[in-house]
Amino acid sequence: MPFYRSSPACGTGDHSILFGNLSTLNPREQINGLTSFLDASTVYGSTPAVENKLRNFTSKEGLLRTNVRYYDNDREYLPFVDQVPSPCAQDPNSDEAERIECFMAGDSRSSEVISLTAMHTLWLREHNRLAKALKKLNRHWSSETVYQEARKIVGALHQIITLRDYIPKIIGPEAFNQYLGLYKGYDHRINPKASNVFSTAAFRFGHATIHPIIKRLNAQYQDDPVLPNLHMHEVFFSPWRLIKEGGLDPLLRGILAKSAKLLMQDQMMNEELTERLVVLSNNGSLDLASLNLQRGRDHGLPGYNDWREFCGLPRLETQTDLNTVIANRKVAEKIMELYSNPNNIDVWLGGLTENFLPDARTGPLFACIIGKQMKALREGDRFWWENSHVFTETQRHELRKHSLSRIICDNTGLSEVPPDAFQLGKFPQDFESCDNIPGINLEVWQESNQQEETCGFPKGVENGNFVYCSEFGKSMVIYSCQHGYQLQGEEQLTCTSRGWNFQPPVCIDINECENQINPSCHTSAKCINTIGGYQCVCTDPYELAEDGRTCLDSGRIPKGSLISIILGVTMVSGLAVLSWIVICRWTQSANGSAQANMLKDRTHLSAETDSKKHHEMKTSQPNILVEPADKIVVLSSVVKN
């Protein structure tokens, strides 16, 4: 089974020698390609380049891009990727003209399974719903302001739903109170990075909760004969099933009404993941459990016992010790048979097999690692939604009302949902009408646009935005420019008895290409300034990398070289043909001269013969020589030619 190692971070492992670290041991570390913060990067991407691909810059409402070919009962789908044809599977009953490409979202894995695609689609719709509503409330907002405010709300909802509604059910209320507790504010001393053991081992507990069957249910939450159940391997990288087989609604009903797989010590992962896992980078089937184990070894994670000690849990030294944390004796014996000593056990396997904590879906080790990581993400993030300067108190009050169930109600055709989307219930007794599911009142985001008696409402600036504040009889406006522009004039204006204390500023274009200290484009690319931005251009055969700044070798022959090659081949071919024509004509001319000389000789010979014959006829009439008829014809033909 193929396995690809994670890329090393610069200056670690063997690469440290290149950075001059010759005397100190510098263990290999891995690059985290995604932001660690709970900031809805799955919706907006982790880099500006990805974010720009996802945005609809032509909209005045700050929207995200949507699919322009397909709709789900007038609701949006994710846009397709730019790379066509994409590697996603196709409907075997459709022809090539009806291709359904992979979807594009903030995370490149959005098309991995259709249930994951459904969640990505749900958040796309929620952003656009919020953006349209905010624009109606604040007509003076620019598209950039609307986009950023909607993104800010979506980021807050990700944080609320994850820590309030999901994590307590995973690690249990006791571990939640022990490792997280109440929010006490931003702490600059806390490192919010995603730890290696969290991303490589602990949070992969979720692989053992994936159900092998995908259900799609009708409006009564019953099996739909038109949309039968699917095995997991039938939905890997198959976005066509979402578009052609009912859209989001039947799929979300199946997710809400079907429990996650229960992690059992003697049946941790279903065979759809260990025998039939499909990834785009490999043609065969893979084993996710084996990949998880090998990934931990690739990253050099310490063993199971070391992490138990890190969390203040007792080390396990014997089979008897192992039996205290693994109720299934046969599983404990099998682990000891394979590893010989508890110190050798891989942390992913050891943490996964532990007995669950009360009201939890993990054991004490994973509860500790997940809890500590969530605390770091919460208190090490200065933009955390509960931090006092991020939202107003009234806005935080409204955000607390929202839930995943409300998001489903607002963005699908479902009319009844469970009050808590993470809590399994029976239909209809445990479901509520969407009319009874609370949600955000966005009016608390509305800015006052009434004319200020003394100064009047502030003037807008082209290619810029402003925030207008009026409180306790004092009015103030703060201006800012859109990306690619810089402010010229006063940033902050205050209303006085004589009017605004300064004239509104203007936003002028920044020539990013003049920045020599921190160039906008890599040295391999040429920078071209545009209004409100810039463009990095690569010379053929190089093409622009995903970061939008660097040129990469495309592996193609340069167009200029290709044209030169074509012209060269054409010229050589032309010369060859011309030479051949000259040679042929010269040969033909030479042959013609030879034939003419031959004819001349034959004519001369014939004349001499005729003269001789004539002489003989005169001297001896009885001895007349007659030329055969066939030779005359042949000679005649030679003369004519």
Q: In which element (H, E) is residue 467 found? A: strand 464-471
Report the alpha-carbon distance of residue 512 to residue 483 in Å, rounded: 11
Beta strands, E only, 511-634: 526-530, 533-537, 542-544, 551-553
What sign does the dihedral 105-109-114-118 (CA atoms) show? Answer: negative
CA–CA distances in Å: residue 542 to residues 470, 508, 526, 539, 558: 53, 32, 12, 6, 8
Angle at 115 between CA 111 and CA 119, to 5 degrees: 85
Cβ neighbours of residue 445 closer than 8 Å, sequence gap 6 or more: 134, 137, 138, 149, 395
- Residues belonging to the binding site are 207
Q: Are 470 and 452 in contact (CB under 8 A)?
A: yes
Report the candidate in 73, 427, 366, 414 with the shortest Cα–Cα distance to residue 197.
366
Task: Report CA Rg, the chain.
Answer: 40
Report the alpha-carbon distance of residue 576 to residue 569 in Å, rounded: 10
Terminal-residue alpha carbon distance, the chain: 79
Cβ neighbours of residue 346 closer than 8 Å, sequence gap 6 or more: 201, 293, 296, 297, 301, 303, 304
Report the candidate in 436, 430, 467, 468 with the shortest Cα–Cα distance to residue 451.
468
Q: Say what angle helices 629-640 and 559-619 make with each other, to 10 degrees.
A: 140
Phi first, then psi: what are they for 17, rounded to 5°? -65, -35
CA–CA distances in Å: residue 161 to residues 50, 341, 406: 24, 40, 11
Report the alpha-carbon distance of residue 140 to residue 123 in Å, rounded: 25
What sign does the dihedral 239-241-247-253 (CA atoms) show? Answer: negative
Could you tell me the maximum CA-CA distance found in the chain, to the nearest angstrom?
153
Q: Are 464 and 479 in contact (CB under 8 A)?
A: yes
DSSP state of 314: P
- Residues belonging to the binding site for heme b are 207
Cβ neighbours of residue 485 closer than 8 Å, sequence gap 6 or more: 463, 464, 507, 508, 509, 510, 532
CA–CA distances in Å: residue 448 to residues 139, 260, 397, 496: 11, 47, 20, 18
Report the candidate in 447, 443, 440, 417 with the shortest Cα–Cα distance to residue 430.
417
Q: Are 73 and 121 in contact (CB under 8 A)?
A: no
Report the candidate in 421, 425, 424, 419 with the shortest Cα–Cα distance to residue 437.
419
Report the alpha-carbon distance of residue 509 to residue 46 in Å, rounded: 26
DSSP assignments along 413-452, one per residue: S--EE-SSTTS---TTTT-EEGGGS----GGGGPPP-SPP
Q: Are 435 and 412 in contact (CB under 8 A)?
A: no
Q: Which two tokens stand for residue 96?
A: 């090539």
Report the candidate in 284, 265, 263 with the shortest Cα–Cα distance to residue 275.
284
Which ranges constitute the DSSP H helices of 138-268? 143-160, 167-171, 173-179, 196-200, 240-244, 248-257
